[in-house]
Amino acid sequence: MKVALLDYGVGNLHSLVKALELGGADVSIETDAMRALRADALVLPGVGAFGAAAERLGPAAESIRDALDDGLPCLGICLGMQLLFEASEEGDGRGIGMFSGTVRRLTARRVPHMGWNQVEASADSLFAGSDNLIAYYAHSFVALPSAS
């Protein structure tokens, strides 16, 4: 499977490439969103600020949304997942808007939330049928989908 890792100036891309290759993917790092959308799947990496990343995506955000609407599989990691929403209180700029809603800062006493936690998979998710999944979390924001 050809997987495009969209480079919009954030994250440790080379570690992510190695992880995807270990999973059997043929990975390319793309700075041109239109080239990235020709792959079999798209990865939006994390680490960084929403406003700066949204600005880097700029006009490509609409094309990315169209490709996702047409069924292109996409994995958004950390900031990449946040960019799939409309906006974030972390910074200016518009997200891709694949999901209605905004990203907000956690209101917990201890932020960032860090540590190993169980993953709760929905019945229609990529991880459906998998039990006892755990992942390491290090985040200060939460994506809040709109009620609609």
2-145 topology per CATH:
Rossmann fold (3.40.50)
Q: How many residues does the chain have?
A: 148
What is the DSSP track for 1-45?
Answer: -EEEEE-SS-S-HHHHHHHHHHTT-EEEEESSHHHHTTSSEEEE-
pLDDT of residue 29: 96
**Mean predicted confidence (pLDDT) in 20-31:** 93
pLDDT tens-digit profile of 94-145? 999 999 999 998 887 776 667 888 887 776 666 666 777 787 777 788 888 8
pLDDT of residue 111: 64
pLDDT of residue 95: 94
Cα separation of 100 and 79, whole Å? 16
pLDDT tens-digit profile of 80-91? 999 999 999 988
Is pLDDT at 148 greater than 70 in this prediction? no
Q: Which residue has the higher pLDDT, 28 or 129?
A: 28
pLDDT of residue 59: 87
Q: Is the overall model pTM greater than 0.85, yes or no?
A: no
